[in-house]
Amino acid sequence: SAVISQKPSRDICQRGTSLTIQCQVDSQVTMMFWYRQQPGQSLTLIATANQGSEATYESGFVIDKFPISRPNLTFSTLTVSNMSPEDSSIYLCSVDYRDTGELFFGEGSRLTVL
Amino acid sequence: AQKITQTQPGMFVQEKEAVTLDCTYDTSDQSYGLFWYKQPSSGEMIFLIYQGSYDEQNATEGRYSLNFQKARKSANLVISASQLGDSAMYFCAMREKAGAGSYQLTFGKGTKLSVIP
């Protein structure tokens, strides 16, 4: 399986600030996915990031709020902009390592906004 | 309508007993995949088991097995010989085509399993 590292693992942020979450994979992958898990809830797909193209956002998520970079086949970042307490969640990076639909996940980044 | 339904918000099981976590799904696709993930309190998502819609045999991975009943659109997870370390949230997920050759994974709301010593 892929080794997926996320940074930071957790952070406490002030309202109105922005935070960038990094995701590093130990092998090249075509598609990387960013999910959000609000407290006590299931996972919701934010966007799909393919290298060399703009990220594809799901309904309810916009690029201005969640800009994503995908500079190469092993790395991606998700920025949570102008944060509010409602953005307090676990943000998870995932990859389809074998192009089978089986997703492997990073450890998650637990974000608390005060 | 929900694509993935997990009707058990919480379950308790005695250590060393077996437990079944329910999952039903809704899709009009002929080709799809069903997954189970485990999420301990630490937050990471751990892949457990996969069942393809065309797989005739139920998937098994160690103590995990998937009871796949295609006509009933159910994909229940069976954990045998429960261990204390099995206490976690369990999510059922379905992979469907999302258009233009891509696919999407949709998660259920999860079931919190607590293993009692």
pLDDT tier, B100 (very low <50, low <70, confident <90, very high otherwise): low
Q: Residue A95's closest chain B neighbor by CA?
A: B105
pLDDT tier, A23 (very low <50, low <70, confident <90, very high otherwise): very high
Average pLDDT of A79-96?
A: 95
Interfacial residues of B (vs A; Cβ cutoff 8 Å): 33, 35, 37, 42-47, 50, 91, 95, 102-105, 107-110
- Name, in order, each residue with C-beta under 8 angstroms of B97's C-beta and a sequence gap of 6 or more: B29, B31, B103, B104
> pLDDT of A27-84, one tens digit each?
998 889 999 999 988 999 999 998 888 898 998 999 999 999 999 999 999 999 999 9
> pLDDT of B52-88, one tens digit each?
999 989 999 999 999 999 999 999 999 999 999 999 9
Q: Could you give the count of Cα atoms lying within 13 Å of A101 in the half-sphere of its Cβ?
A: 23
Q: What is the pLDDT of residue A1?
A: 61
Q: What is the pLDDT of residue B99?
A: 65
CA distance A94 to chain B (A): 9
- pLDDT of residue B39 exceeding 80, the answer is yes
Q: Which residue, B11, B49, B16, B10, is CA-closest to B33?
A: B49
- The CA-based diameter of chain B, rounded to the nearest angstrom, is 49
Inter-chain Cβ pairs, chain A and chain B, closer than 8 A: 48
Please name the member of B42, B44, B107 whose beta carbon is closest to the beta carbon of A43: B107
Partner B contacted by A82 (CB < 8 A): no
Residue A74 phi/psi, 5° resolution? -125, 5
Q: What is the DSSP letter of A55?
A: P
Q: What is the pLDDT of residue B105?
A: 85
Three-class SS of residue B52?
A: strand
Please name the member of B45, B95, B103 whose beta carbon is closest to the beta carbon of A105: B45
Q: What percent of chain B has pLDDT over 70?
A: 95
Q: Residue B96's closest chain A neighbor by CA?
A: A101
Give the gyration radius of chain B's Cα atoms. Answer: 14
Cβ separation of B105 and A101 shorter than 8 Å?
A: yes
Residue in B3, B25, B32, B45 to test binding to A, most A beta-carbons within 10 Å = B45
